[in-house]
Amino acid sequence: MSMLRLDNLTKIFGGLTAVGNVDFTVEEGSITGLIGPNGAGKTTIFNLITGVYKVTEGKILFQDEDITNKEPYMVAGKGITRTFQNIRLFKKLSVYNNVLTACHANSNYNLFESILRTPRCRKQEKKLQNKAENLLDIMGLLDRKDVIANNLPYGLQRRLEIARALALNPKLLLLDEPAAGMNPDEEVQLMNLIAEIRDKFELTVFIIDHHMELIMGVCERMMVLNFGCKLAEGTPMEIQGNPKVVEAYLGVEA
């Protein structure tokens, strides 16, 4: 079964076609890459999937269900969560509280139970705390749990954003340039971690990155966008050898 299908997906801003007639499938359980030069339309595709932007034309199917133009909270509720190209965290909260607040999105006790601190509520609260700590542990952030998010080094803020996205129990995780601002060592570590996360949580991952070589090491399939249009799709090997892709990236005829 496909996890996500983009069917003739199109987004026009004024006169600008940011995404034009894109057909693409993300297979369940895969790590799939989305690459392309600056302004190619990559982030716009994520914004369309997550309901941040309204689709001009075409459809988005999630596990065969039409989710086109659903509100962002509904898309998240169905199991699609994301990180942002520009990190979005509660900058003044601790690392731990950033993740704990995200864990609470799935809590099912009500306000009265919370005020009365009923046993059921306390039990659930303990479960969410354990979950938050476990996620921090997996993301290598447990020893910084009391640090204010804003004071974390940039690379770790990106990891924290992923921990927050995982707290929402996604089936499909969308990562928008998760390695941006990291040094080469951190980048490689992050890619390994993403592969681990996929296995551990049985996720499907759709990941945007600029660095072709970097995501080629982690993806099973990928799509290349250029000026909003699909330029190529295939395995990393196929993409690497595709003259159109080389030309788009290097601006020279291959």
Nearest residue (CB) to Mg ion, 117 versus 154? 154
Nearest residue (CB) to ligand ATP, 56 versus 134? 56
Nearest residue (CB) to ligand ATP, 39 versus 79? 39
| 182-to-14, 155, 179, 239 alpha-carbon distances in Å | 35, 5, 6, 24
The interface mask with ligand ATP, positions 16-35, x = CB under 6 A, is x-x-----------------
Task: Give the other-Cβ count within 10 Å of 6's Cβ.
Answer: 23
Residue 222 interacts with which of Mg ion, ligand ATP, none, CB < 5 to 8 Å by class: none
Where do contacts with Mg ion occur on this chain (CB under 5 A)? 42-43, 85
Among 20, 33, 36, 58, binds ligand ATP (CB under 6 A): 36
| Sign of torsion over alpha carbons 40, 45, 47, 48 | positive
Nearest residue (CB) to Mg ion, 35 versus 95? 35
- Residues 6+ positions from 236 with CB-CB distance below 8 Å: 33, 216, 217, 219, 222
- Binding positions for ligand ATP, 80-139, rule CB under 6 A: 85
* Rounded least distance, CB 17 to ligand ATP, Å: 9
Residue 44 interacts with which of Mg ion, ligand ATP, none, CB < 5 to 8 Å by class: ligand ATP
- Binding positions for ligand ATP, 40-59, rule CB under 6 A: 40-44
Residue 40 interacts with which of ligand ATP, Mg ion, none, CB < 5 to 8 Å by class: ligand ATP
Which residues contribute to the site for ligand ATP (CB under 6 A)?
A: 13, 16, 18, 36, 38-44, 85
